[in-house]
Amino acid sequence: MTTYYTSDQHFGHLNIIRFCDRPFPGAPAMNARLVELWNETVSDDDTVWVLGDVALGALDESLAHVDRLAGRKILVPGNHDRCWEGERTLRKGEPEARERRRTKERQRYLDAGFAEIHDRPDPVAVGGQNVVLSHFPFEGDSHGEDRFVEYRPVDRGSWVVHGHVHNTWRQRGRQINVGVDAWGGRPVPAAAIAALLADGPRDLEPLSWERPEP
């Protein structure tokens, strides 16, 4: 049994292809390739932490891909997930009504195939070190100025495994981006994270997307 980390699939999101230069002619081809790369990597006995932004577009149609993915899947919602904690403040309406909507949305993600949803999970041990799991890095963004500062983890000298920044970096200092746009489209095994931790803080560029063999 292996633990993996990943984020930012953006199932069903056509514009992400242009934004991140993904090598696909459209969303259906992207969706199929994401599922293929995941299932080539992950077995049903494995656990995968998905650090946010799993699906956009027509949500029911996009979330349907989650059930096709192998392994036990745990979601840490990102700012594009309907069940993200920030939705309580971004949506209009009374606080109680916003919370009811969020509870209903969380159930949609659970029904789609996630075993658990954690807004701010406790640190996890990787390679003998405790690391923070979050959709957001401590600092940095793919849009220039840092967004959603109030929802980011606080840098207290630890490492953070995160998503959100797409192909901006694979590692920046003590921040490890496990988004699919930094790792060729595949989930990242804990052993790969442990190796980066052992090598210490540095900057690494994203890996290229893996293209299917002709």
Strands (DSSP E) found in the chain: 3-6, 47-50, 72-75, 114-117, 124-126, 129-133, 159-162, 171-173, 175-177, 188-189, 202-204
* Average pLDDT over every residue of 109-116: 97
Provide the pLDDT for residue 3: 98
- Confidence band for 96, pLDDT divided at 50, 70 and 90: confident
Q: What is the pLDDT of residues 159-191, one digit of tens each?
A: 999 999 999 999 999 999 999 999 999 999 999
Q: Do residues 59 and 32 touch, judged by C-beta distance below 8 A? A: no
Q: Can you list the domains of the chain with their CATH numbers?
A: 3-204 (3.60.21.10)
* Percent of the chain clearing pLDDT 70 (strictly above): 95
pTM of the model as a whole = 0.94
Q: What dihedral do alpha carbons 150, 137, 105, 45 form, nearest 10°?
A: -150
